[in-house]
Amino acid sequence: MTELTLVQAVNRGLQEAMRQDPDVLLLGEDIGVNGGVFRATEGLYKEFGAERVIDTPLSETGIVGAAIGMALYGLKPVAEIQFMDFIYPAFDQIVSELAKLRYRSGGQYPCHVVVRAPYGGGVKGGLYHSQSTEAFFCHTPGLKVVIPSTPADAKGLLLTAIHDEDPVMFFEPKRIYRSVSGEVPEGDHRVPFGEVRLVREGTDVSVFAYGAMIPPAVEAADSLARDGISAEVVDLRSLVPLDERAVVASVEKTGRAVVVHEAARFCGFGAELSAILAEQAFYSLKAPIARVTGYDTPFPYALENLYLPNAEKIEAAARSAVRAG
């Protein structure tokens, strides 16, 4: 085990995959000599060279399009988009081509592509560097979508993604890149998709979150516990495929649900989760499902802390659910 920050764990996962398999390569803006805008690829250019750590032009369409072509020839490219906010020029390549190639070819071309992108607020990035639009990609059949919240999961989910036969959108919560650290297994450590991580067991209310929302969810649970309210914190981490069975089982036990994400509320991932719970756990619910989310506005700069969900908002939602039932 090695103590790493989340961004260091991403770096270690990329290094491990590239050492294991010569078909794994990286491409993106400034990822080579510069090591990427957040230094997630630092040192990899020196170890693997310019043919496997490729500095690209400033063209997200070109980055993803090139990655698709590489994958069709049997390579396993990992494409970095500097910020999720910059991914939209490549949207057509992702949803119209990448997501459909395996289906379109009858399984002949699995298209091993991972698209990495830091997402979310908390770093004073303003409206062009703080977006959380994971729901766009969750809505697209053919894509898998994962978001780690711990260093161990960052490495483990990334290695699973790189070796998966389907294209994977791998979103990294930049807010906790360096503020969260933990022990990370050495070697080929993989975390399976479609399984939640039970962060904290509880009996009174279930709090579902992912990425940078896990630390405030845990903080809220700690505060609730001081008043005798037992909150279960569930890290979804794999949005597609989703561990529906574990989500439903948690609510069947607690009878209450609070869903947390920093993305805008309307049609966010919490809406889908709420629908699943309404369909599959309705008779277990003792209170309405609560959502703690960002607002339906562009991401603000000066009011960033007001926009983002925090422990106080999560705690208030949980207390309201407990009082209601």
189 is catalytic: no
Which letter, b or e, does each residue of 167-186 get, where b requires 16 or more Cβ atoms within 10 Å of its Cβ?
Answer: bbbbbbbbbbbeebebebee
Q: How far apart are CA 318 and CA 266, in angstroms?
A: 20
Between β-strands 257-264 and 290-294, what pairing exists: parallel, antiparallel or unpaired? Answer: parallel
Catalytic, out of 129, 139, 163, 261: 129
DSSP for residue 61? H
The tokens describing 205, both together, are 């209310």
Nearest to 232 by CA among 153, 214, 277, 193: 214
CB 218 within 8 A of CB 233: yes
Instruction: List Cβ neighbours of 93 (8 Å cut-off, separation of 6 or more).
Output: 61, 64, 65, 68
User: Percentage helix, strand, coil, to 5, in the chain?
Assistant: 40, 20, 40
Q: Which helix (H) or strand (E) holds 263?
A: strand 257-264
Q: What is the CA radius of gyration of the chain?
A: 19
> Angle, nearest 10°, between helix axes 214-225 and 311-324?
50
> How many CB atoms are located within 10 Å of the residue 23 CB?
17
Mind telling me the catalytic residues? 129
